[in-house]
Amino acid sequence: MVDTRLEAIDPEKTSDKQREVIARLGEGRGRIPTPFNIWLHNPRLAEGMEIIGTHVDHSPVLSEAETEVAILSTAVFWNSPYVIANHRRHALKSGIPESVVSAILEKRRPESVEGRLGVVCEAVSAILAGASVDDARFDRYKSELGRALIAELLITIGYFTSVSLAMTLHALEPKK
């Protein structure tokens, strides 16, 4: 690990805006997630990321398993070992079968998943493949998932793209 890349904010030297974001993180998440040690260097950015990240953590639209499919697939897409290791555990804990987790880790679309979770797996794969989805598939996603869930998948993938890139750029190793 290159431990000089991640520079935590010194609590004694925080600005009012940084303290405000830290307080909101404590209220919404009960902790300061690792990426915020990066984003807090730009407090206005950290403020926006806190809103999105806390929403993703407590999604009223996606189940925990659906959220974890989106997060793990995004981390694998961006080859982010830190996020992959953390969210592999979360995915399994959320009830996603080992075969589905293995397929995601092997960069394959899980094929044997039934119901809404199967459609989510397919939609996440399509979005990460460049969001080039024909009208028939989009109409299926719209009818089976709804526009609110599609929007939720997009924001989850976007947020965890930033998390994955941040963790990799700062050379953070997976927690053991």
Q: What is the predicted pLDDT for the residue at 7?
A: 83
- Closest C-alpha to 82, from 28, 160, 10: 160
Tell me the per-residue pLDDT of 69-100, one tens digit each, with 9 for 90 and over. Answer: 999 999 999 999 999 999 999 999 999 999 99
**44-48 average pLDDT score:** 93
pLDDT band at 1 (very low <50, low <70, confident <90, very high): very low
Count the Cβ atoms, other than its own, within 10 Å of residue 6. Answer: 17
CATH class of 64-169: mainly alpha
Average of pLDDT values for 62-66?
Answer: 95
Domain boundary assignment for the chain: 11-57, 64-169
Q: Angle at the Cα of 155 (from 149 to 158), degrees rounded to 5?
A: 140
Whole-angstrom distance, CA of residue 109 vs CA of residue 124:
9
Task: Answer yes or no: is pLDDT of 52 > 80.
Answer: yes
45 is written with which tokens? 């950015």
Indicate the length of the chain as a whole number: 176
pLDDT at 158: 97
Rounded Cα–Cα distance for residues 62 and 175 (Å): 26
Q: Please state, for a pLDDT cut of 90, what percent of the chain lies above it.
A: 69
What digits encode the pLDDT tens for the residues 116-168? 999 999 999 999 998 678 999 999 999 999 999 999 999 999 999 999 999 99
Q: Exposed/middle/buried for 151, CB within 10 Å: 0-12, 13-18, 19+? A: exposed
Return the pLDDT at 159.
97
